[in-house]
Amino acid sequence: MQNNTLAAVDIAKEIFELGVSDRPGRVMRPKRLPRAAFLEFFAQLPRATVVMEACGSADHWARRIEELGHVVVLLPPQYVRPYVMRNKTDRPAPIKTVPQQVIATLHRLRSGWLTWIA
């Protein structure tokens, strides 16, 4: 049996906004969760597709949520606007592993140093 539960997450520093839907276009459970209760909520949620904006901490949260058995889709920021659905849903961003994030950080640091030296 296919589960059609969709959870949309807006990640912030302390309070995360969530919208859980079991049918397209209907948010059955809007939630505001503190960081400490975020993973606990997903541990109790039946298997769902979780959608969130790709940002610096999204990869970390995506890995943790996938460990709980959910499917996570990271959307590039240019495709995320509040309350607007777009036809382009075929371009999710891949979830980076910890080593991939470390390498990306080293590349950004190197670029910064090269700009500063030049």
Sequential pLDDT tens for the chain (118 residues): 456 888 989 888 889 999 898 877 788 878 899 999 999 999 999 999 999 988 888 999 999 999 999 999 998 887 766 545 555 555 677 888 999 989 988 998 888 888 877 6
Whole-model pTM above 0.75? no
DSSP H helical ranges for 5-94 = 35-44, 58-67
Cα–Cα distance for residue pair 51/75, rounded to 1 Å: 7
The domain ranges of the chain are 6-117
| Pairing mode of beta strands 15-21, 6-10 | antiparallel
What's the CATH architecture for 6-117? Answer: 2-Layer Sandwich (3.30)
68 exposure class (CB count in 10 Å sphere: 0-12, 13-18, 19+): middle
